Homo-oligomer: A and B are copies of this chain.
Amino acid sequence: MRFRVDPLPRPGAYGGTAIVVDVIRATTTAGLYLRAGAKALVLAPGVEAARTLRREGEILAGEVGGLPPEGFDLGNSPREVNGVVGKTVVMATTNGTRAAHAAMGARHILLGSLQNAQAVAERAAEIGEEVHLVCAGKEGQMALDDLYAAGVIGKRLKALGLSPEGEMAQLALFLAENPPFSVLASSEAAKALVRVGLGEDVAECARVDVHGVVPRFLGMRGEGMVFGG
């Protein structure tokens, strides 16, 4: 069984299992909302879409320039995941949602981060199909942080018996030999957070193997993608 790494999403190119990675911060925070007790997540392709998708009693989460927009309950920070117990969180993200949409042809779509690296690798290995690590990137550009996280998950897939296929999988694996915080902190995504005073989110996203919650795609709600734990 094999795994591949895509530095950028290739819409419609996937079968088997896709692990979507937008480590700063969408897929990290998505896992933490579920871990904090959220019933489900709805990934919305933007702030307006999230407002439309939200039903009564649900939590609105999203960010513009790293901060929660007007009327939103949460700002997609991995350090602010309270008040979600038993509720559905409608989460507006741009790059992460775009990558999840691109993965739509896959039979299984999981959200991966450093925090659930071992857990998502094990889940994918159990499913037993070819694995695609789909990096979200940032506005159409490859992102260092996502490739790194794909490499860390890839190392665990390899340890579980899957073989890296293609040069980008090798690149991600070599990148993963570096320490998480120093790599993540060098990314443009991290620098953008530091600029708006959210530098501590980077340290949170850089924590490896801290929980076992793996968001998985359940179905659509309008243009939103619903994930459960």
- List A residues at the B interface (Cβ < 8 Å): 7, 141-144, 147-148, 167-168, 170-171, 174-175, 177-178, 183, 186-188
Contact = CB atoms under 8 A, between A and B. Distances in A.
Contacts of A183: 170, 174
A163 to B, nearest CB: 12
23 contacts: A7-B142, A142-B167, A142-B168, A142-B171, A144-B167, A144-B170, A144-B171, A144-B174, A147-B171, A148-B174, A167-B186, A167-B187, A167-B188, A170-B183, A170-B186, A170-B187, A171-B175, A174-B175, A174-B178, A174-B183, A175-B175, A177-B177, A177-B178
Nearest to A141: B167
Nearest to A177: B178
Interface residues of chain A: helix, strand, loop or mixed (majority):
helix
Copies of the chain in the assembly: 2
A175 to B, nearest CB: 6
A147 B174 CA distance: 12
Q: Which 5 A-B pairs have the closest CB atoms?
A: A170-B186, A174-B178, A144-B167, A144-B171, A167-B188
Contacts of A186: 167, 170, 174
A143 B147 CA distance: 15
A167 B77 CA distance: 23
A182 to B, nearest CB: 8
A142 B167 CA distance: 9
Residue among A147, A167, A178, A187 with most chain B CB within 10 A: A167
A142 to B, nearest CB: 7
A144 B148 CA distance: 14
Contacts of A148: 174
A171 B171 CA distance: 10
